[in-house]
Amino acid sequence: MNILNESFDKIYLITSYSTTNRLPELLSFLNKENIEVELVVAPKKQYFTPDPNLHKTKGTYSHLSAVESIFLKESFVKSNSFCILEDDIFFANNYVDKFNLFLQKLPQDWQILNLGFNEYTTVVFKSQDILYKLQTGDRICGSHFIAYKHDTVSFMLDKLPTCGYPMDWFLCDEMYSNFNTYICLTPTFHAMSYREHENDKHLFFYKKYLSEFF
């Protein structure tokens, strides 16, 4: 069994109807690594009307609907822990060793984990640090690999209906400071999508997809 399935009771993979072109390569990799996932396909973006005043694009609604569906399911199945991968997830070659080291250092009191490597963060840390517990006011970008304990479910479902921002902003504003949230500081799991305005979009070989969510 893969280390991710050993670490979490359930692994969900979310995609949208317009980004399923990412799935063949990713699913092939997950199969090779013996990572068992449940695929969740978000509804079509044109079902929703974007609201620029709330930073909600059609893609943002689509993304949020997939996350809400997972949390609604978890309110019934009650997995002790589960994680959500986005369809642009990229695994470092030595991700097993890096993740093992992270788990060895991870306190048992964790409730949320942001395991994706974030190029944009306000967190200041030493180069040898492996993980960091987020403090009130810390800001990080990215939601391509988030893990949750069951005690976050009801809180998430209460907050999601009023969410006015993309998922990573929402997590910073509403979730992280209310739970014991740890982030992984070593480049282990990356996002392969980018936004056109980002200066680093050509710097990393794994940047493959122009973001369709924002």
Q: Report pTM.
A: 0.90
The closest of 164, 121, 118 to 142, measured between CA atoms, is 118
Residue 214: pLDDT band (50, 70, 90) is very low
Instruction: Check pLDDT > 70 for residue 120.
Output: no
pLDDT digits (tens, 9 = 90+) for 133-179: 998 888 888 899 999 999 999 999 999 888 877 888 889 999 999 99
pLDDT digits (tens, 9 = 90+) for 54-105: 556 666 777 888 999 999 999 999 999 999 999 999 999 999 999 999 999 9
Q: CA-CA distance, 77 to 80, in Å (whole number)? A: 9
**pLDDT in the model for residue 180:** 98
Q: CA-CA distance, 91 to 112, in Å (whole number)? A: 20
- Residue 114 makes CB contacts below 8 A (sequence gap 6+) with 134, 140, 142, 143, 145, 146, 171, 176, 181, 182, 183, 184
